[in-house]
Amino acid sequence: MEPLAAFAAISKAIDIAKNLTLLKGPAERNAGLAELQKLLIDAHGVAMSLQNQNASLLDRNQELEQEVVRLKDWSQQRALYALRQIGQGAFAYVAHTAVQSVRDVEKLCPKCFGEDKIGILSTEQEFPDVILQCTNGCRPMKFVHFV
């Protein structure tokens, strides 16, 4: 039942309630009361359904607002980093302000960065090849040496 139908049912229930005193005999009154009760139960069911729908919409709205905040924060975070070559055929995101060797700065996983996540690359091994591992478990990055 749509909201308008619920209002129509309530309006009809009000009319029945007003006319109950005009009904003659207990059978007519009982039939009127039964119809009134059915309309009120139907209207109550619709009201509960609408309330549940409203709660779901409010929850979804809150989720979307949180996502907007997260994306705005990520956009600001993203602006602090640039994709740089850190080894032959190996790239990572490094802070724009980094002036020291790429070996000594925090490096972010390019796969995670592209998915709007932060994955920090940590050095697992440096000899004979450099192996960097992402904190989010991405495939290890392997190359000969830092540039």
For 89: left if phi > 0, alpha if psi spans -120 to 50, otherwise beta; the answer is: left
DSSP per-residue string spanning 44-67 = HHHHHHHHHHHHHHHHHHHHHHHH
Q: Write down the residue that tokens 């990572």 correspond to.
A: 92
CA torsion 63-69-72-73 (nearest 10°) is -120
Please, are residues 76 and 88 in contact by the beta-carbon 8 Å criterion? Answer: no
pLDDT tens readout for residues 88-100:
999 999 998 887 7
Q: What is the pLDDT of residues 36-59, one digit of tens each?
A: 999 889 888 888 999 999 999 999
The residues, any chain, with a CB within 8 Å of residue 59's CB and separated by 6 or more, are none
Segments of the chain with pLDDT less than 70: 1
pTM of the model: 0.61
